[in-house]
């Protein structure tokens, strides 16, 4: 195996690794963004349920 072929193989390997790394970083960032939105929506939903239960309890005491 001569040096030129080795350098070409290393360049191809580095290219695949960088493209794969960028792809994985994009997937990770997208998943993190979606989870953040879902987490905020979940917190909002929990707060709405608590407020709704509070109003039901107050109206039931009258």
Cα 7 to its chain centre, rounded Å, is: 36
- Give the Cα separation of 30 and 40 in Å (integer): 15
2 vs 61, higher pLDDT: 2
Cα 43 to its chain centre, rounded Å, is: 17
- Give the Cα separation of 23 and 2 in Å (integer): 32
Unique residue bearing structure tokens 């909002």: 44
- Interval 26-44: pLDDT, tens: 899 999 998 999 888 888 8
- Give the Cα separation of 38 and 20 in Å (integer): 27
Residue 21: pLDDT band with limits 50, 70, 90: confident
pTM over 0.75: no
| Structure confidence at residue 44 (pLDDT) | 87
């Amino acid at each position: 195996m001569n040096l030129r072929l080795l350098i070409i193989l290393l360049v191809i390997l580095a290219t695949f690794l960088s493209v794969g790394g960028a792809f994985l970083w994009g997937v990770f960032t997208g998943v993190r963004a979606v989870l953040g939105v879902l987490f905020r929506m979940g917190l909002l939903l929990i707060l709405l349920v608590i407020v709704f239960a509070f109003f039901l309890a107050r109206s039931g005491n009258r």
